[in-house]
Amino acid sequence: MLQSMRIIGGQPLVGEIQISGAKNLALPAIAASILTDETVTLNNMPNLADTSFMQDIAMHFGSNIQRISNNTYEFTTKKITTTIAPYDYVRKMRASILFLGSLLSRCGHAKISMPGGCAIGARAIDLHIYAMRKLGVHIEIENGYINAKADKLIGSDIIFDHITVGGTENAILASVTARGTTRIINASKEPEVIALCKMLNSMGGKIYHDNDSNTIIIDGVDKLHSTTFKIISDRIEAGTYAIAAAITKGKITLKDCVYDDLTLFFDCLKHAGIHISKNDNSVTVEGCDVIKPHSVTTAPHPMFHTDLQAQYMALMTIADGCSHITETVFENRFMHVNELNRMGANIVVQHNTAIINGVMRLNGARVMATDLRASVALVLAGLSADGETIVNRLYHIDRGYEDIDAKLSGCGAKLERVNVEQ
């Protein structure tokens, strides 16, 4: 049986929400755990479908995983038992490609099925392959598999022609034990990438980043060792619940939210009339009576994050005027537009820009999630809408949001999961 979410909208959300660990760090951190034969302990690990899939793949490679507490896991990979990742293991999630760098670093060879994931665009792996080849890896692609081998990984200058989060992470994982120095130029500087570098440094790596440029420098080491590392809080989850407060005209305190990781996003909410206040380890978001239209363009950090685009669009559907959202990261990330329009929104897409003419209110409807962030945008819209909203294909949302039902209902949301026949 599949699950849907039934939402009765119109209730202002008031309360506190504990922000979980970042999915976008947890996945590369799991890939990094197999770089050593010693135990890697990860605290603040979010319990998600995606982290569960990633753990399954790590165990396939030989990792023994112990759950110490609800959000603490120990990963011990004494020996890599196979360097082949078959299709059935990696088809569900694109982040599985990160094991390519880890396996090459530890074993010098890997055979990885081409990855899958959300249908939000091509997200080609050409930059991953380019980075591996720059490190001396011989790669052939045949029958849907990446076959990679290297006698020795040799440090090199890796110059990306555009910023890639996954490509940067894979290059870091592969080069951390490469011979010599690697410079990643035009590297991603997302907080999760910097946190991955800190984790690897705690394992004995020598990774540096230039604060004034998008350059990451890795001096290869012979061996990595055990560590205990805390996953940083999930800024995308924090941004999502900030919009939940704004779209329902409520007031939510986001505990363990790092304001500086979302500075531009919170500035956009302020331009829309939303009240934001911050403390040392929390941010309080309070909605307003009239939401002002405000236009954004997605781009790599520190600009507006593509993973918050769908949620922000849901908010702009009830703004008092016209706003524009331009998507520059993924070419197919407006699939939620038709579903929002089913709820009474007025959105027109022209090329990579969505033109949103705000309406007084949204109306409940039966809608279908197409990817992770689109699914939560529809939930947000349902929380604001008049009447009942049914969000189908709820499995998307469980990939990236831990205990979303409890967190929202704890602030007064009226929602429940219902089983539906396939």
How do residues 198-254 score in pLDDT, each as one tens digit?
A: 999 999 999 998 877 899 999 999 999 999 999 999 999 999 999 999 999 999 999
Residue at which a domain ends, from 171, 206, 230? 230
Residues 245 and 322 in one domain: yes
The H or E element that residue 384 is part of is helix 372-384
- Residue 157: strand, helix, or coil: strand
Task: Write out the two tokens for 231.
Answer: 């996953």
Query: Shortest CA distance to 166 belongs to which of 121, 205, 206?
Result: 121
Alpha carbons 306 and 314: distance in angstroms, whole number: 14
| Portion of the chain with pLDDT greater than 70, in percent | 97
Same domain, 239 and 222: no
40 DSSP β-pair partners: 75, 227
Q: Which domain holds residue 72?
A: 23-230
Domains in the chain, number: 2
Q: Are residues 134 and 72 in the same domain?
A: yes
Neighbours of 355 (CB within 10 A): 14
DSSP code for 186: T
Give me 216's structure tokens: 């990451």
- pTM for this model (two decimals): 0.95
Q: How far apart are CA 92 and CA 141, in angstroms?
A: 20
Q: How many CB atoms lie within 10 A of CB 162?
A: 9
**What pLDDT does residue 186 have?**
96
| Alpha-carbon gap, residue 64 to 231, rounded angstroms | 19
Same-domain status, 144 and 278: no
Confidence of residue 120 (pLDDT cuts 50, 70, 90): very low
Could you tell me if 41 and 55 lie in one domain? Answer: yes
CB 358 within 8 A of CB 323: yes
List the structure tokens of 410: 């704890």
415 and 407 Cβ atoms separated by less than 8 Å: no
Render pLDDT for 278-301 as a digit per residue (tens, 0 to 9). Answer: 998 999 999 999 999 999 999 999
Residues above pLDDT 90, as percent of the chain: 85
Tell me: do 150 and 226 sit in the same domain: yes
- 3-state SS assignment for residue 352: coil
Q: Is the pLDDT of residue 94 over 70?
A: yes
> Does 61 share its domain with 105?
yes
Token pair of 61 as six digits = 């490679």
Tokens in use for 192? 């999760």
| Domain's final residue, options 215, 230, 245 | 230
Cα distances (angstroms) measured from residue 106 to each of 33, 131, 275, 410: 11, 17, 49, 45
| Residues 27, 51 contacting (CB under 8 angstroms) | yes
Whether residues 286 and 354 share a domain: the answer is yes
Strand partners, 141: 146
Q: Which of 21-35, 122-136, 139-153 shows the lowest per-residue confidence on average (mean pLDDT)?
A: 122-136
Sheet harboring 414-420: ordered strands across? 366-368, 388-392, 2-8, 414-420
Rounded Cα distance, 50 and 249, in Å: 31
Q: What is the pLDDT of residue 123?
A: 46
Helix H or strand E encompassing 383: helix 372-384
CB half-sphere exposure, 262, CA atoms < 13 A: 30
Catalytically active residues are 118
Which residue(s) pair with 298 in the sheet? 304
Q: Are residues 186 and 257 in the same domain?
A: no
Amino acid at the residue 165: V
* Residue where a domain terminates, one of 205, 230, 255: 230
Q: In this model, does residue 147 exceed pLDDT 90?
A: yes
Contact 221, 177 (CB under 8 A): yes
- Give yes or no: residues 393 and 405 share one domain: yes
Q: How far apart are CA 27 and CA 46, in angstroms?
A: 10
Whether the pLDDT of residue 116 is over 70: the answer is: no
